[in-house]
Structure 1
C-alpha cells in the first residue's frame, strides 16, 4: 500500500552538500521561500570542522522558528539511522562525521541525512516526474553513477547503506560505473566528456560512435535494474543529459534484448534536471519522507 507524504504547510530546510558548495533552502509545500549558497572552504581536505562550520552557517542563513526539521543530502555513503556521514571523496577530512547529532544539537529540530541519489529519487516522488509513479528508480549520472529506489511510494529502506549502488556491480573488466558515467570517457576513451560532446556536435563519426557505446553500456545497467526491481519507470538526470541525443537510441536498442518482451515494451525512461535548487527540494523531501515514518 502506498504511503502518502503530506507536504502542504510544512516548512523544512533542505541542504545539498556537494564537493565544492553547500546549498540550503527553506521549503514550504512546493515553494522555495529562501536559499543560500556557500563554498566549501579550501582547507576541507584536512580540516573537518571548517566544513561543519560552513554547513551550520549556511543553514542558519535560512533557518526560522517555523522550520520543523532539516534534510541533508551528501555525495557519499550515510548511515541513515544514526546520521553518520562516511568517506566523502571530495571532502577528504570527512571520514566519519556524526552530522545528524551535530545539527540537532545546534538547531534543536530533527535531522535526517541520506546520499544525494536517494535525495534525487524521493525529490522526484514528491516534486518531480515521479509524482504519478509508485515504483521507480532514480539514476544520477555525472562523474559517477548513483541510484535511489522508490518502492510503494517511499524510499527503499536498506540495511547497510548499499541499496541503489548499481554502479558498483561487476561489469566487463571493471564495474558498471566505469562504463555508465563520466568515468567511461576518461578511463576507457582517454578524452573528457566535454570534448567528445564538442566533437559529436561537429558531426565527428568517432565521437558519435563513442556515445553509442556509452548508450549500450547504460542500457545494460538499466536491464540489470529491470531484472532485479522491475520498476514502472526509470528517471535519469545529471550532466550527461546534455549529450542525450547521441546515446538515447542505443539505450533502447539494448533494452530490446531484454529477456521478457512485454517488460521491455512497458518500461519507461524519463529525463529530469538536477540543476538549480532541485537538490535542495530533494534533501527537504528526505526529511518529509523519513518524518512520516515516525
Structure 2
C-alpha cells in the first residue's frame, strides 16, 4: 500500500496542504485562513480541510505554523496574525477528530528539516535553514536531527537585537518596506535593469544577511546554510555583498568549509511539514 503523509502549512492568510505519496508531493491545495473568526471556527475549518484528504489513506499529519509550539503536547502557543489562535490544543483536537498521529512545529524548523530530508541539505548532517520572506525564520539540524529547543523557539534569530532593532527588520521583506517603501520583487526588477538605488538596496540587504550568518557561524558552525523563502530568488543581487560581510568572520577555516545553498523545493512549507511526521515517527520507533 502507498505510504501517504499529509503536510499542512497554516499561515495568517492561507492554509496549504499536500500529500507525500511514495516520495512525490501530490494533491496540493490552498484555502483561505479564516483569521478573524473564533478559535472553534478555525479548528473546524482545519479539520474539514484535512478530512478532504483522507481518501489517500493518510498515515500521519505534519503541521507547520509561524509561531511557537509546545512540540511534545502539540499545543500552538500563539500566532500573531490569527488573534483567536492562542494556546490551542491542536494535536489533541485533530487526533480525536481524525484519528491519525499529528505532529506540529514552527514553520522555519520544518523548513530546515524538509531541506535536510528532501532537498539540497540531504548530504549534510549539520545545517541551518533560513527563510527569507515577510519575516526571517531559522531552523537547526544537528547530527541529522531537528533541534527545536524549548517551545520550538530555537533559531529565532529574527528577534535577536541588531543595529536599531532586530535582525528581522534588516534580513527580510521588512527591510525593503521600511527602508525603501517598496516590495523586494519590485526592487529586484529595477535592480536587474541597473537602477542604482535598487542595486544599493540589495547590497545593504546582503551585508545585513552576512552579519546574521556570522552570528549563526559563531554559535553553531554548521556545514551548510540553506536559504529559502521568496527573497532567495534575488540571490544574485545580494550574493556579493553577503560574502563580503562574511569575509570578516573570525575563523577562516570554518568559513572555508561552509556551503551556502538555495532551496530548490517548490513547496518548501509542505515538504517541511511532511518531513516532520517522518522525523517524529522515526524518533518514536528508535
Give the TM-score of the pair, scaled to structure 2: 0.94
Cα shift at 1:274 = 5.3
Query: Partner of 2:231 in structure 1?
Result: 240
Distance 2:26 2:187 in 1: 39
Q: Give the secondary structure class of the aligned counterpart of 1:114.
A: strand
Query: Partner of 1:34 in structure 2?
Result: 27
Distance 2:157 2:85 in 1: 23
Choose which of 8, 28, 31 in structure 2 pairs with 1:15. Answer: 8
Supply the RMSD in Å over aligned alpha carbons: 1.8
Q: Give the secondary structure class of the aligned counterpart of 2:283.
A: coil
**Over residues 36-59 of structure 1, what are the superposed CA-to-partner deviations in whole Å (9 max), with x where a residue is unaligned?**
322223xx2242222222211111
Query: Partner of 1:3 in structure 2?
Result: none
The alignment status of 1:137 with 2:128, answered yes or no, reads yes
Query: Partner of 2:271 in structure 1?
Result: 281
Equivalent pairs, count:
284
Distance 1:232 1:196 in 2: 32
Query: Partner of 2:85 in structure 1?
Result: 94
| Structure 2 unpaired stretches of 5+ | none
Choose which of 277, 281, 284 in structure 2 pairs with 1:291. Answer: 281
1:26 and 1:63 in contact (8 A); partners too: no
Query: Partner of 2:183 in structure 1?
Result: 192
Q: Give the secondary structure class of the aligned counterpart of 2:150.
A: coil
Distance 2:50 2:4 in 1: 14
| Structure 1 unpaired stretches of 5+ | 1-7
**Over residues 202-233 of structure 1, what are the superposed CA-to-partner deviations in whole Å (9 max), with x where a residue is unaligned?**
21111101110110000000010000000000
Choose which of 130, 137, 151 in structure 2 pairs with 1:146. Answer: 137
Distance 2:116 2:233 in 1: 23
**Over residues 152-196 of structure 1, what are the superposed CA-to-partner deviations in whole Å (9 max), with x where a residue is unaligned?**
111014124320101111111111111111111112333332332
C-alpha change, 1:29 and 1:200, in structure 2 (3 Å) is same
Query: Partner of 1:81 in structure 2?
Result: 72
Distance 1:235 1:29 in 2: 25
